[in-house]
């Protein structure tokens, strides 16, 4: 090709040849494109192929130099902006990549792969709703089967019930349609039926192991289910082919943090932040990771960076408040008040600001206004939840009916005999993190986190796929034989092994909600230790009321719900004290504060551990702590927090009335407890 007067047909042939080479031999494609450009300088098609080839061979900076002028010269050409977004992402300019990608999608809304990549970017940036919308648009744009166009459109438009009905009908006739199965899994996930979504995606991958989009969905669902080991495995499989995928890298960082691999998680977060330095939610996730690793100053810096980027992000202020030891300035309080005065502030940011202001004003001694903010934050949060206190009461009633002394005698000798686990149960904010920190300071005990595994086994036995269904648990345990009980105990140990980083023979599972499963624990792990961390009912419940939990604990957003929950908890624990005397060791928080050494010796004795002075110096323990009390337990015990609730007593009537005689009798139990 020697000049600009080359016949058009020859030019088209050369361009087509270069485009074909792009997929298999990008270096040759680049050579061909340069040849065309020598003949026809500035030719748009050849420039695009050259830029694409440069990116594919790893020279993304050069690709940007080629494509950026092209995109400016052709502002309405979607392909140029899309290719520019790929090159920008490859050099870590994530935010610029998103801008170019949005421009391309505005020009060409049916660019299916563009929507997927936008979802990946937004996922890494912490914009979960935006990512979900982009992935739904990807599903719609990639659907070619006319039978799936209607459900895809319904999913994209948020008409979830319509999409569900259409897909259910389609799958009756086409049960192996992997595109429909993946779409149906997305519907299940949107409805909160994560186990259904997991099963659908597992089936999808069984039929089509190479279905990358479904595997990505699968990894996300596994992470949301708390199954970080499996999520990490799926993410690594995908990252092997797409190592710079932003959404997968962020997911892997979250999974690593969940597994206690903080050094690796923090490094990965830092790498992703380098690509998206102006993303407030990404800085916040990084702040959570360094906080848990005990690096408080870095966490404060990260939260402050998040606030500087997005001043209306209430969760960043709450993250500072949730350090418990952080003190807001007058300027911070004024800023939070100003944000709450905005009319355009969403409920989620609003309730986070209310919780943060409640803490700031509590520290300032302004208790009436503090309570007002705590109360409003809880009101806003509760209306988003479907918590029903009657379900908890019914569960306790069923457990007490099943787990009798005779029942346990019939199952004596069952279960896995390993003594490894130490369960700390009770209500959140009852002092369980303090007990964990004391025990994990012993050289034979390893602290882990609030492990979801036992709850997962109970849910699995219950077999409930919809909230309206009645769980088969705990009654189904009457049908489980000794071998199955042993297998369940062994499975729990196998699943939690990933959390154990040392060779200590004992480890702690600090999931407070396991109080409802003491009978199950005893059946499958009869030699496990069970410790009930208990705190004054008003103090404990109000501390929960002041706390915004990232997930779960739906009973904490109403004083009455808290009172009913505490009564149910005490009632069931009293039942186990009666049918399994001495099985559960109780730590009364106030006693631990008043006479720490005596209580620590009792605690270690129950666990079969020799006394160790390090357990009294628990605040020197540098292990990662993954709860709201993480910074408090890095200080010596102090009495100040025991009676703090009394500042709020004028407003706690609904709680005290619901708790009834439990308040005056504490730490003893009123005789009429069984009559409730």
CATH number at residue 421: 3.40.50.300
pLDDT reported for residue 619:
80
Categorize the per-residue pLDDT at 18 as very low, low, confident or very high, splitting at 50, 70 and 90: confident
How far apart CA 663 and CA 615 sit, in angstroms, is 31
pLDDT in tens, 156-191: 999 999 999 999 999 999 999 999 999 999 999 988
Helix 178-190 with 128-142: angle, nearest 10 deg: 160
Considering 159, 189, 219, which residue would you say is the last residue of a domain? 189
Q: What is the pLDDT of residue 643?
A: 81
pLDDT for 617 equals 87
> Tens of pLDDT along 247-279?
999 999 999 988 888 899 999 999 999 999 999
The yes-or-no verdict on residue 10 having pLDDT over 90 is no
Question: Both 456 and 518 in a single domain?
Answer: yes
In a domain, 321, yes or no: no
Instruction: Provide the pLDDT for residue 638.
Output: 57
pLDDT, position 554: 92
The residue whose two tokens read 């439990």 is 662
pLDDT 10s digits, 545-584: 999 998 779 999 999 999 999 999 999 999 999 999 999 9
Do 51 and 141 fall within a single domain?
Answer: yes
Q: Which of 448, 442, 437 is nearest to 497 (CA)?
A: 448
Q: pLDDT tens, 599-643?
A: 999 999 999 999 999 999 888 766 454 444 444 444 556 566 678
Tally of structural domains, the chain: 3
Do residues 411 and 380 share a domain? no
| Average pLDDT for the chain | 91
Residue 283 lies in a domain: no
Residue 498 DSSP one-character state: G
**Cis check: omega of the bond before 667, within 30 degrees of 0:** yes
Q: Is 294 exposed, middle or buried (0-12, 13-18, 19+ CB in 10 A)?
A: middle
Q: Rounded to the nearest 10 degrees, what angle do helices 146-156 and 160-173 cross at?
A: 160
- Shared domain for 524 and 630, answered yes or no, is yes
Assess if residue 547 is contained within a domain. Answer: yes
* 248 falls within a domain: no
Q: Is the pLDDT of residue 8 over 60?
A: no
Residue 630, pLDDT score: 43
Which domain, by its residues, includes 23? Answer: 8-189
8 A C-beta contact, residue 247 and residue 268: no
360 φ, ψ (degrees, to nearest 5): -60, -45
Instruction: Name 181's Cβ contacts closer than 8 Å, sequence gap at least 6.
Output: 171, 200, 201, 203, 204, 207, 214
Alpha helices in 441-558 (DSSP H): 453-462, 482-496, 518-524, 537-545
315-334 mean pLDDT = 95
Given 349, 384, 419, the domain boundary residue is: 384
Query: Are residues 353 and 409 located together in one domain of the fold?
Result: no
Q: Are residues 48 and 167 in the same domain?
A: yes
Residue 287 located in a structural domain = no
pLDDT in tens, 215-259: 999 999 999 888 889 999 999 999 999 999 999 999 999 999 888
User: Distance of CA 490 to CAs 454, 516, 521, 526, 529, Å?
Assistant: 12, 20, 12, 12, 16
CATH value at residue 102: 1.25.40.10
Separation of first and last alpha carbons in the chain: 93
The angle subtended at Cα 578 by Cα 577 and Cα 579, nearest 5°, is 100
For the segment 394-405, the average pLDDT, to the nearest whole number, is 97
- On the question of pLDDT at 7 being above 60, the answer is no
Q: What is the pLDDT of residue 626?
A: 44
Could you tell me if residue 509 is left (phi over 0), alpha (psi between -120 and 50 degrees) or otherwise beta?
beta
Q: Does residue 142 fall inside a structural domain?
A: yes
- Which residue, of 189, 219, 249, is where some domain finishes? 189
Query: Shortest CA distance to 216 belongs to which of 207, 226, 204?
Result: 204
| 520 and 632 within one domain | yes
Closest alpha carbon to 94 in 280, 275, 273, 277: 275
Beta bridge partner(s), residue 532: 425, 586
Give the pLDDT band of residue 144 (cuts 50, 70, 90): confident
Under the banding of pLDDT at 50, 70 and 90, the label for residue 351 is: very high
pTM of the model: 0.84
Indicate if 463 and 349 belong to the same structural domain: no
Phi and psi of 418, rounded to 5°? -55, 135
């Amino acid at each position: 090709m020697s000049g600009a007067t080359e016949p058009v047909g020859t030019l088209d042939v050369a361009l087509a040849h270069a485009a074909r080479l792009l997929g298999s031999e990008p270096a040759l494609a680049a050579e061909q494109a340069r040849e065309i450009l020598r003949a026809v300088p500035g030719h748009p098609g050849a420039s695009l192929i050259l830029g694409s080839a440069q990116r594919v061979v790893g020279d993304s900076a050069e690709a940007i130099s080629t494509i950026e002028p092209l995109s400016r010269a052709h502002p309405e050409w979607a392909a140029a902006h899309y290719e520019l977004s790929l090159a920008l992402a490859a050099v870590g300019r994530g935010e610029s990549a998103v801008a170019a990608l949005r421009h391309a999608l505005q020009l060409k809304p049916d660019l299916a792969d563009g929507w997927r990549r936008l979802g990946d970017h937004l996922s890494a940036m912490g914009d979960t709703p935006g990512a979900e919308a982009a992935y739904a648009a990807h599903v719609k744009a990639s659907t070619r089967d006319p039978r799936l166009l209607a459900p895809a459109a319904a999913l994209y438009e948020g008409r979830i019930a319509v999409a569900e009905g259409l897909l259910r009908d389609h799958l009756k006739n086409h049960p192996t349609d992997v595109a429909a199965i993946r779409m149906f899994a997305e519907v299940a996930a949107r409805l909160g039926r994560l186990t259904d979504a997991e099963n659908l995606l597992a089936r999808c991958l069984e039929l089509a192991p190479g279905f990358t989009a479904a595997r990505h969905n699968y990894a996300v669902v596994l992470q949301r289910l708390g199954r970080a080991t499996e999520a990490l495995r799926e993410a690594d499989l995908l990252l092997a082919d797409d190592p710079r995928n932003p959404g997968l890298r962020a997911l892997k960082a979250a999974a690593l943090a969940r597994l206690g691999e903080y050094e690796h998680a923090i490094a990965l977060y830092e790498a992703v932040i380098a690509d998206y330095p102006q993303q407030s939610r990404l800085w916040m996730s990084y702040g959570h990771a360094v906080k848990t690793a005990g690096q408080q100053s870095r966490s404060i810096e990260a939260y402050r960076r998040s606030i500087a980027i997005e001043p209306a992000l209430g969760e960043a202020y709450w993250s500072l408040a949730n350090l418990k030891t952080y003190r807001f300035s007058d300027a911070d309080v004024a800023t939070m008040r100003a944000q709450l005065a905005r009319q355009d502030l969403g409920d989620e940011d609003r309730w986070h600001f209310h919780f943060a202001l409640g803490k700031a004003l509590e520290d300032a001694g302004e208790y009436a206004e503090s309570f007002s903010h705590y109360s409003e934050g809880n009101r806003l949060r509760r209306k988003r939840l479907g918590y029903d206190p009657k379900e908890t009461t019914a569960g306790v009633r069923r457990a007490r009916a099943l787990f009798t002394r005779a029942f346990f005698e019939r199952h004596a000798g069952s279960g896995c005999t390993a003594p490894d686990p130490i369960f700390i149960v009770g209500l959140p904010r009852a002092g369980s993190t303090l007990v964990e920190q004391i025990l994990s300071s012993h050289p034979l005990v390893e602290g882990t986190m609030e492990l979801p595994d036992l709850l997962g086994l109970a849910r699995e036995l219950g077999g409930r796929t919809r909230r309206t269904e009645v769980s088969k648990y705990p009654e189904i345990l009457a049908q489980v034989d000794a071998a199955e009980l042993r297998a369940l105990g062994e499975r729990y140990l196998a699943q939690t092994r990933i959390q154990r980083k040392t060779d200590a023979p004992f480890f702690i599972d600090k999931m407070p909600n396991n109080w409802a499963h003491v009978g199950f624990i005893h059946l499958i792990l009869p030699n496990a230790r069970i410790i009930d961390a208990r705190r004054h009912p008003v103090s404990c419940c109000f501390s929960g009321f002041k706390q915004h939990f990232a997930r779960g604990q739906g009973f904490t957003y109403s004083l009455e719900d808290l009172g009913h929950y505490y009564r149910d908890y005490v009632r069931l624990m009293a039942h186990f004290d009666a049918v399994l005397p001495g099985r559960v060791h109780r730590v009364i928080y106030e006693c631990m504060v008043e006479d720490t050494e005596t209580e620590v010796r009792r605690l270690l004795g129950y666990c079969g551990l020799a006394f160790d002075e390090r357990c009294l110096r628990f605040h020197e323990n540098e292990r990662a702590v993954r709860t709201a009390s993480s910074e408090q337990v890095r200080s010596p015990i102090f009495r100040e927090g025991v009676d703090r609730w009394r500042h709020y007593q004028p407003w706690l009537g609904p709680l005290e009335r619901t708790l009834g005689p439990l308040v005056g009798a504490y730490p003893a139990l009123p005789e009429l407890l069984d009559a409730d």
